[in-house]
Amino acid sequence: MKGMTLIVKTITRLLFGFIIMFGVSIVLYGHITPGGGFAGGVMLACGFALLVLAFGKTTAIEIIREKSFEAWDSVGSLLFLGIAVAGFFAGTFFFDFLSRGTPLRLISGGSLLWSNCAIGIKVSAGIFTAFIALSGFRMSGKR
Amino acid sequence: MVLLYGLLGFMLIGAIIAIETKDLLSSVISVGAMGMALSIIFLILGAPDLAIVQVVVEVIALIMLLRLVVEREDVTIAHRYRYGEVFATAAGLVFFGIFIVFASIAYKGMPAFGEPLLTVSQRYITEGFTISRAGNIVTSILLEFRAYDTLGEATVIFTSIVGAVVILRKKGRIHK
């Protein structure tokens, strides 16, 4: 896969940071505004997929390594499970032991923010791995 | 309500085109149009969380399906009517009629559109903010009251992606 024309590459180079920032903000503010870990995670995966589509697989893999995404998928799952198990040691499973804070601030709502971050990491890495598996491995198989 | 039914009709037309067309590319594109209409319906019904998720998932699914369809153009399905297919269609229509009859009977027992069925969900709405202190009540239900469900969903996504990667990779494992 060679990648697309110069116009697409330039626009991707300009927009990639903004897409990632938008996805991260959707994840981080998921407990205040509409959105959340799943939506923001899929947005991040869309940004990485745009990078792969625009620059071609061989160039994009040098920037983002696909093996690390398989690891991040597991890390996100373990983080979410870790939040649940940490609640288990403080009382019951999924018990929310963090302080609630003032409502409508970024650090509020107890463990909701950290659960959203874990789900965002998990979903973005997982969906991007599925994208690579569906579109990239076929290339390597064809030779 | 008129806009809602118009969008529902648009979705039905898109679904019929997606099933009936011979070209895989136009089938994929009509599925994408259907998903966009569904996200607008979610927005009208007052569910912005769901609308965002629907738009984003539809976009990435459309990209994946387009990549797969453009890669392999030899998958056009040759379609020919035979007696067996006529029988299958007739049986399908009969069972669909039976389903419609019983569904219309069951529909009379359902609560009206927009009225909640469970009293537990009423408690989430009234006490959700005071318990979880989070501005977005959907997130507080998903990650606070129904955290077990979310953990199960995360496990389902993880398992399905691991399975997809294992099945779809062409490299194979090197035996030593």
Compute, in degrees rounded to 10, the torsion defined by CA atoms B114, B117, B120, B124.
-10
**A chain contacts of residue B169, beta-carbon cutoff 8 Å:** 133, 137
Asked whether the CA dihedral B84, B86, B89, B95 is positive or negative, the reply is negative
Q: What are phi and psi of A64, to 5 degrees?
A: -120, 120
Q: Which of A12, A100, A134 to mutate against chain B (most B CBs within 10 Å)?
A: A134
% of chain A surpassing 70 pLDDT: 92
What ipTM does the predicted assembly reach?
A: 0.82
The domain ranges of chain A are: 6-142
Q: How many CB pairs under 8 A join A and B?
A: 141
Question: Where does residue A120 rank: exposed (0-12), middle (13-18), buried (19+ CB within 10 A)?
Answer: buried
Tens of pLDDT, residues B20-41 = 888 888 899 999 999 999 999 9
> Of A30, A84, A112, which is closest to B132 when you measure between CB atoms?
A112
Q: Give the whole-angstrom CA distance, residue B21 versus residue B34.
A: 15
Tens of pLDDT, residues B78-114 = 566 677 788 888 999 999 999 999 999 998 888 777 7
**B chain contacts of residue A49, beta-carbon cutoff 8 Å:** 60, 63
Q: What is the pLDDT of residue B8?
A: 93
> Of A109, A115, A126, which is closest to B157 when you measure between CB atoms?
A126
Angle at the Cα of B105 from the Cα atoms of B99 and B109, rounded to 5 degrees: 130
A138 Cβ contact partners less than 8 Å away, ≥ 6 residues apart: B68, B71, B168, B170
**From residue A129, how far is each of B137, B163, B171 by CA, in Å?**
31, 11, 15
Q: What is the pLDDT of residue A17?
A: 93
Least reliable range by pLDDT among A47-51, B54-58, B73-77, B137-141: B73-77
Tens of pLDDT, residues B113-172 = 777 777 777 888 888 888 878 888 888 888 888 888 999 999 999 999 888 888 876 665
Q: Give the whole-angstrom CA distance, residue B64 versus residue A3.
A: 16
Task: Indicate if the pLDDT at residue A143 is higher than 60.
Answer: no
Tens of pLDDT, residues B39-63 = 999 999 989 999 999 999 999 999 8
Tens of pLDDT, residues A74-92 = 999 999 999 888 888 888 8
Task: Indicate if the pLDDT at residue A137 is higher than 60.
Answer: no
- A74-87: b (≥16 Cβ within 10 Å) or e: ebbbebbeebbebb
Q: Give the whole-angstrom CA distance, residue A66 versus residue A89.
A: 35
> Of B53, B158, B171, which is closest to A73 when you measure between CB atoms?
B158
Both structure tokens of A58: 């061989």
Q: What is the pLDDT of residue A135?
A: 72
Closest-CA distance of chain A to residue B2, Å? 26
- Asked whether the beta carbons of B134 and A108 are under 8 A apart, the reply is yes
**A chain contacts of residue B151, beta-carbon cutoff 8 Å:** 80-81, 84, 94
Q: Return the number of other C-beta atoms located less than 10 Å from residue A122's C-beta.
A: 26
Task: Indicate if the pLDDT at residue A130 is higher than 90.
Answer: no
SS3 B67: helix
